[in-house]
Structure 1
Amino acid sequence: MADFVTRFAPSPTGRLHRGHALSALTAWTAARAAGGRFLLRIEDIDPTRCKPEFETGILDDLDWLGLDRDGPVRRQSDHLHEYAGVVDVLDRRGLLYRCFRTRREILDAIGDAPHGPADAARPGPHPAEEEAALLAGGRPFAWRLSLDRARAALGDRAWAQLSFVEEGAGPDGERGLIPARPETAGDVVLARKDAGTAYHVAVTHDDALHGVTHVIRGHDLFEATHVQVLIQALMGWPTPVYRHHPLLLDASGRRLAKRDKAETLQSLRERGMDPAQLRAELGF
């Protein structure tokens, strides 16, 4: 099926581990089985944590696993102006507002929120005079997507029809046609004055640009789908089919993570593991 397009989209914030190998192999195998395309995207929009040496390591690891790619590698840091254009479109449509609250202030509000964290994550715009004073003082701000304005822009009927098809399974076994619930995330940040674009903008933009038909990724990103479906609807982009898969867990039941020093593919290679052995271990 030539119109099957999927991608593997790691962030170069460390070396890949078995969990990344599972996700990459799942997407690559699905693409090859369908006669489709497998794209590689480097999601390096965080300049403080992403390093060129880790990007090089990602390419080495995928080559070692035997995962060939179709087309050039997409490096998101080379396309920040495109994501800024998306934010500008949404702002000109009146769907965004400036939020000057710090991350700590938002977290404190979430802890004190009587109706749950989603309500606290919808701080709303500042009064006009207060906003003008904060801007004049050079206070950093984030652009937040207003759920109320987004719903008004789409209309109640279109809002109620927001949904996505899950061909894998969510963390609680969700599958089939799933209603999107962007309200569970609150008014998400789409950009920061001092840090460029946010993940939700970059990922939906690139999926639409490259005609991604199937997003294949782990359970940890299942909830992000709800917000991404909303952005796709607002921008007139198609919603791909989603296939979420379980995560690999360590001996204590926690998912493998870079921050927990999960054993890297580089380490496996250096101690002599054959890539076919790892593929078999992961069920491929």
Structure 2
Amino acid sequence: MNFRTRFAPSPTGPLHLGHAFSALTAFDLAREAGGTFLLRIEDIDRTRARAQWEAQIYEDLHWLGLDWPEPVRRQSDHTDAYMAALEDLWARGLLYPCSCRRRDIVAAASAPQEGGEPAVGPDGLVYPGTCRPETPPRGQMPRDEALRIDMRRALDVVGKDINFFEVGAGPDGESGLIEVSPEALIEGVGDVVLSRRDFPGSYHLSVVVDDAQQEISDVVRGQDLFEATQIHVLLQHLLGYLVPRYHHHRLVRDEAGRRLAKRDNDRAIATFRAEGCTPAQIRDMLGLETAPGGAA
């Protein structure tokens, strides 16, 4: 498979230095491999996505010296693809509706129980299984409720070892062939949401469908998403997709060691541009070499 990767920001605020590092890393790796770099707009959060932030994404990335094939894939244009994946999983008895609100989950997870503190996974508190049915639900898949994956049933369906190849490094230096533990998925991840009430798909589902449909061979992203990879690999197995290679990279942090967020406007790419910074200076600031072929 030819090297094919992507940078997939959400248009919910300005891109900052952490985004620049991730985008430039993916772009450089694609150039070095003679492959393809894609831009994808992950706009499933319709309450926060804004057209002006999407326009600024294009502006900032072009200024950094990046280019990509058109048209750009926008998640809001592909709800049919996410719905088809959900219908497949529903028909196989792997999803169930959930009416729990966040406060319900917090209350249930915080109730006194054996074993100490409640487990926390990639999506926060591990869902305690309040709405999980004893047998798979029948009939038509509901469209107005959140849908969770039944993790135990999903693992039974996969019925084999789950692994992925890490060519970068996880937060604790994990690299090479990474085995995904069924116990860790059940106890440390739980029945994650795959479809929300307001959109037919969640981050976990949509990113897996997008990567498959765009034939992504190498996923390049920050180490903060390393723990979520086990969810994505499970879904890839369930949906019959190829598992790409993963390249998790270090995170850009502030002086206090905190990961940058979109509220850190003083580290926004647009702010550096306005102050007269050059793309080459951004690369130097991030510890990146000049791009292959002399770009940026």
TM-score using structure 2 length: 0.86
Match runs of 1:40-189 below 5 Å: 40-112=39-111, 114-115=114-115, 116-117=118-119, 120-123=126-129, 125=131, 141-155=145-159, 158=160, 161-181=161-181, 182-183=185-186, 184-189=188-193
Offset, 1:106: 1.0
Structure 2 CA distance, aligned partners of 1:93 and 1:195? 21
Offset, 1:236: 0.5
Compare 274-283 and 239-248 and name the one that shifted more. 274-283
Q: Secondary structure at the match of 2:78?
A: helix
- Determine which of 174, 182, 201 is the counterpart of 2:205: 201
Unaligned runs of 5+ in 2: 290-296
Compare 107-116 and 37-46 and name the one that shifted more. 107-116
Q: What amino acid is the match of 1:207?
A: D
Q: Quote the sequence identity (%).
A: 48
Q: Which residue number corresponds to residue 191 of structure 1?
A: 195
- Determine which of 214, 219, 223 is the counterpart of 1:219: 223
Offset, 1:120: 4.7
Offset, 1:81: 1.7
Deviations 1:132-184 (A, max 9, x none): 9xxxxx9x6310000111122122xx1xx101111110001101111124332
Structure 2 CA distance, aligned partners of 1:54 and 1:114? 46
Q: Which residue number corresponds to residue 258 of structure 2?
A: 254
Q: Which residue number corresponds to residue 6 of structure 2?
A: 7
Q: How many residues align?
A: 272
Structure 2 CA distance, aligned partners of 1:268 and 1:166? 33
Q: Secondary structure at the match of 1:259?
A: coil
Structure 2 CA distance, aligned partners of 1:11 and 1:178? 28
Deviations 1:104-135 (A, max 9, x none): 1112223335443269514154569xx99xxx
Q: Secondary structure at the match of 1:88?
A: helix
Offset, 1:261: 3.8
Structure 2 CA distance, aligned partners of 1:120 and 1:8? 28
Structure 2 CA distance, aligned partners of 1:25 and 1:108? 42
Structure with more of its chain in helix, by fraction: 1
Structure 1 CA distance, aligned partners of 2:126 and 2:277? 48
Alignment CA distance shift 1:164-1:64 (3 Å): same
Offset, 1:262: 4.8
TM-score using structure 1 length: 0.90
Q: Secondary structure at the match of 1:228?
A: helix
